[in-house]
Chain A
């Protein structure tokens, strides 16, 4: 049986743990609000980007002069997986879910006989993948997200991917990140980044008369030219997608942390209740025992 002093110590240590977890919960909650706002603010850009690319891509795809970011390198042997994770832990199963999904993806690709390389964005993803796939990790970028993800931080990551593509290090690039749905639900998402996946409806191989889309596209004037615009627009799209993945993942991280810390605080409270009950029982038992000793001592006289 634990002594009273032991129990007192345990109660106070659980209490201070609860203070920490509930403080972390508050911090995560306030960051979540900001992060969610940032994620929502980045949506209009992405939507309009998609619209423009949809207009353009369909008319260029399949032509010999199509940019490589759109048409690909003509090969799909070497894959680069960009794993977006958080820099800090204590956010529930967020990063392990990303890592699990990534491992599954690696297995699928390797089973198909592809070469796989990893680019880790965020420390925790790298830590989780290091054990099984250390040889595949080409680099880790972790200098971001101190308060909120800025576009400049995402640009560094995207530029890295683009440089690697220019250097011919890979053929296909896939992003793995957590899409933010709510504070308690984050969905691991895979998204093909390079080559740009052309939506089916924008494909010109389809009969023209069937799609009003194609008719509308024909009306657009292009300055300087379709290819010229695409050459600039596609890298920007890569940056935007990376930025979006990172903001979504950051919001997910804060949401997951808030939930995890809320649970931890609640568990700590339960534990304190149990320990306090045990402490009081032990204390009363001791008092009773002492009283009995006194009474029986007095009776003996």
Chain B
């Protein structure tokens, strides 16, 4: 039996995942990082991207995350995400539609704050279409 770490992915609406895994690769703001059992404790902001969940020596599941936070301790890795779903649930068309909609919103945004939010949505949509396409 290989050593495992407890991986939890939580969104405000529900607990998406909670199971022991061998490794997770998380897209941190300062670069992707892999979390293995007995990782040093850390807190990190997560940028929009893909989380790879490793089990049995290979990628078992790929999840898209629209940004959030990761808390890593020696025995677990908790990720708080505002939005997250398995990559298999979206098609390339969905991603493109979302990107177009987000770009449109950005053009229509008037106030600075609305612009900031729309720009963020575009970044998320871009990350998603990259994840789906490549």
A: interface residue count bin: 20 to 34
B71:A51 contact, CB within 8 angstroms: yes
Interface set, chain A 212-239, CB cutoff 8 A to B: 216, 219-224, 228-229, 232-233, 236, 239
A220:B69 contact, CB within 8 angstroms: no
A52:B12 contact, CB within 8 angstroms: no
Least CB distance, B84 to chain A, in whole angstroms: 11
B44:A239 contact, CB within 8 angstroms: no
Contact with B along A222-261 (1 / 0, CB 8 A): 1110001100110010011001000000000000000000
Interface membership of B78, Cβ < 8 A: yes
Inter-chain CB contacts under 8 Å: number = 82
B15:A41 contact, CB within 8 angstroms: yes
Closest to A150 in B: B13
The CA of A154 and the CA of B82, in the complex, are separated in Å by 12
The CA of A49 and the CA of B79, in the complex, are separated in Å by 10
DSSP class of A's interface residues: helix, strand, loop or mixed? helix
Least CB distance, B77 to chain A, in whole angstroms: 11
Interface set, chain B 65-80, CB cutoff 8 A to A: 68-69, 71, 78, 80
DSSP class of B's interface residues: helix, strand, loop or mixed? strand
A163:B113 contact, CB within 8 angstroms: yes
B82:A151 contact, CB within 8 angstroms: yes
Least CB distance, A177 to chain B, in whole angstroms: 16
Which among B11, B28, B43, B78 has the highest number of chain A CB atoms within 10 Å?
B43
Q: Which of A41, A52, A150 contacts B43 (CB 8 A)?
A: A52
B41:A232 contact, CB within 8 angstroms: no
28 A/B residue pairs, CB under 8 Å, sorted by A: A38-B13, A42-B14, A44-B10, A44-B15, A45-B12, A45-B15, A45-B80, A49-B80, A52-B43, A52-B78, A56-B43, A150-B13, A151-B82, A216-B41, A219-B41, A220-B41, A221-B41, A221-B42, A222-B42, A222-B43, A223-B45, A229-B43, A229-B44, A229-B45, A232-B69, A236-B80, A239-B12, A243-B12
Q: Which 7 A-B pairs have the closest CB atoms?
A: A223-B44, A221-B42, A41-B14, A44-B15, A45-B10, A220-B41, A151-B12
Residues of chain B having any CB pair with chain A under 8 Å = 8, 10-15, 28-30, 40-45, 68-69, 71, 78, 80, 82, 113, 117
